[in-house]
A = this chain, B = another copy of it.
């Protein structure tokens, strides 16, 4: 496939594809001469992944990290997940006091949180933001959040395909980045449903 074709197939302007090439999101094609290269199906698939990431709100810089993880995955699943998380998660600038993290770990019933506190720190930051806005999160709701997320995580991790490592990497990395908008959208639908149940509309 040549550039014009790749552009037509993917629906993206040539200039944009060149941009992704420059930014290292899309690997170079196979050079056939000084001013010519060909691209394969892998490039087309990659472009679709790039668009999916960017449409999902991932920045170009983070998308590059996600794709790097996809290309050179660590062999331990936990490390793979951690890399995917680090690539997608917002990296908070100010750090969270240890005491706050310890409190949180206790609240969630975690013992061995010490080996990777970044994700927990992110939870703490989100809760601080809530507090600073003057929003009191009912403890009951917080408990539901946590148990629901444990359910979700259990289901997700249980479905990691074990046969094909490539498939597993894809599942973990894309599942991390692309499922977030889906979950939030489902929450909104569920909230509207629960609302009309609790507060039936006037006739």
Contact = CB atoms under 8 A, between A and B. Distances in A.
Contacts of A1: none
A3 interface: no
Count this chain's copies in the assembly: 2
Interface of A: 45, 48-49, 51-53, 55-57, 76-78, 81-82, 85, 89-90, 108, 110, 116, 119-120, 122-123, 125-127, 129-130, 132-135, 137-138, 140-141, 144-160, 170-171, 174-176, 178-199, 201-202
12 contacts: A48-B133, A48-B134, A52-B135, A77-B199, A85-B191, A116-B192, A120-B189, A122-B188, A141-B159, A145-B152, A183-B184, A184-B184
B157 A198 contact: yes
Nearest to A156: B141
Contact of A126 (B82, B181, B199): B181
Given A152-B190, A191-B156, A196 B78 contact: yes
A151 B130 CA distance: 21
B193 A145 contact: no
A203 to B, nearest CB: 12
A180 B191 contact: no
Contact of A192 (B45, B78, B171, B191): B78
B183 A187 contact: yes
Given A81-B191, A178-B130, A185 B122 contact: yes
B186 A146 contact: yes
A161 to B, nearest CB: 9
A194 B152 CA distance: 10
Contacts of A116: 192
A90 B55 CA distance: 10
